[in-house]
Every structure is written in C-alpha cells, then in structure tokens.
Amino acid sequence: MTTPTPTDWPPLIAGQPALDLLNTLTLENGALVEHLGDDAAAAAWLSRATGAAQAPQPHLAERARELREAVRAAVESLKRAQPVDLAPLNALFARMHSHLVLRPSDAGFALHREAVGDPAWLALAPLGEAAAQLLAQTDFALVRQCEHAECVLWFHDTTKSHRRRWCSMALCGNRYKVSEFRKRRGG
C-alpha cells in the first residue's frame, strides 16, 4: 500500500483516462475539490495522465473542465439509462484539430503534430479520444462509482470477477474496513 502524495493526487485509478478525467473533482471531508483549478495544475495532471509532458497552455484548465463535464453528462445519462446527447461532446472533439508537420532532425526527419486553432484543445485530444472510446467501446455495466459514501471516484472494472467495489483498496477499501470494524466493536 502506498500513501498518495500531493503530486499523485488525485489518483489515476480509473483504468480509463476519460474516467480519470472525471476523477479530477474529488470529495474530501464532504466538499468537492477541484484539481484542474488553473492551467499549471491542468498541465501537471495531463502530463501524469497521458505520460507525455504537457506545458501549460492558456485556457487549458477551462477547456479540460469543459470536456470533463461533457463526459460526465454522457456517463451519468448512460448509467441512468437515459438518452445521451452526443452533440456537446462531438462539438468539443471537432475543436481538437491538428495537422502533421515534418521537420529536419538529427536522424533525418521528425514527425510533429501542430495544432490548428487553440493549442489547449489539441493538448486535450488524447482525453477526447479516450472519451470517445469509453462511450463507443466500453460495457457500461462495468463503469461504476466507488461504493464509499464519501467518495465520488469513477472506475472501469476490469477485474476478472467484475466485483470491484472501490476506487482503490488502499483508500476506500480500507476506510470501509475500518468503519465496519468500529461498528462491530460498537465504537
């Protein structure tokens, strides 16, 4: 078990990047905590989530939150078996334009991807792609929220038994065990 440090918080436990994006809004001591509060925080999170260093772009945090809430609306509709309005998400995907550019490099040529329009949207393209894959290719019976009453984290249950209950055993699984233990002791 490892204790999360501020640099790896919020934890990337969802097993799906678009769900990890939802988890950038956490519930701590009964209050929602925003982890994409500014462009530097958004860039740090995006670097961690994608494994590719991302510089803070102007409006990155605002755009990331916009994408997050569009994903959340679609995920929540699906979980409630309500119709999903795809227009807001498709409108955001349409902003994630890029084109390829070849540049000379030591080894010959290097391939670059250049933003068309707002670079912040291009920076979010991997998350946009993950969101599209989530909605198109994932069994939503296995997309769930942590069962702990004081937790709002989402995950994709990829366990063999499909009985994952917690965002993480180290966090909520143990919290639950401790509270059950206290209940049994009547404390």
Q: Is 19 in the site for Zn ion (CB under 5 A)?
A: no
C-alpha closest to that of 14 among 149, 162, 176, 166: 166
> Interface mask (CB under 5 A) for Zn ion, residues 107-146, using x and -?
---------------------------------------x
CB 79 within 8 A of CB 67: no
Closest approach of Cβ 184 to Zn ion, in Å? 21
Tokens 């990047």, residue located: 17
CB closer to Zn ion, 33 vs 53: 33
- The one-character DSSP state at 56 is P
Among 17, 122, 167, 176, binds Zn ion (CB under 5 A): 167
The number of residues in the chain equals 187
Coil, helix or strand at residue 98: strand
Give me the amino acid identity at 6.
Answer: P
Cβ-based nearer residue to Zn ion, 92 or 172: 172
Among 151, 164, 173, 176, binds Zn ion (CB under 5 A): 151
Using rule CB under 5 A, residue 64 touches Zn ion: no
Q: Contact, 112 vs 101, CB < 8 A?
A: yes
* CA atoms within 13 A of residue 163's CA, in its CB half-sphere: 1
Among 46, 70, 131, 172, binds Zn ion (CB under 5 A): 172
- The verdict on 148 binding Zn ion (CB under 5 A) reads yes
Cis peptide before 10 (omega within 30 of 0): yes
Structure tokens at 171: 């966090």
Give the binding range for Zn ion (CB under 5 A) out of 32-40, 50-58, 107-115, 165-173: 165-173
Binding-site ranges for Zn ion (CB under 5 A):
146, 148, 151, 153, 167, 172
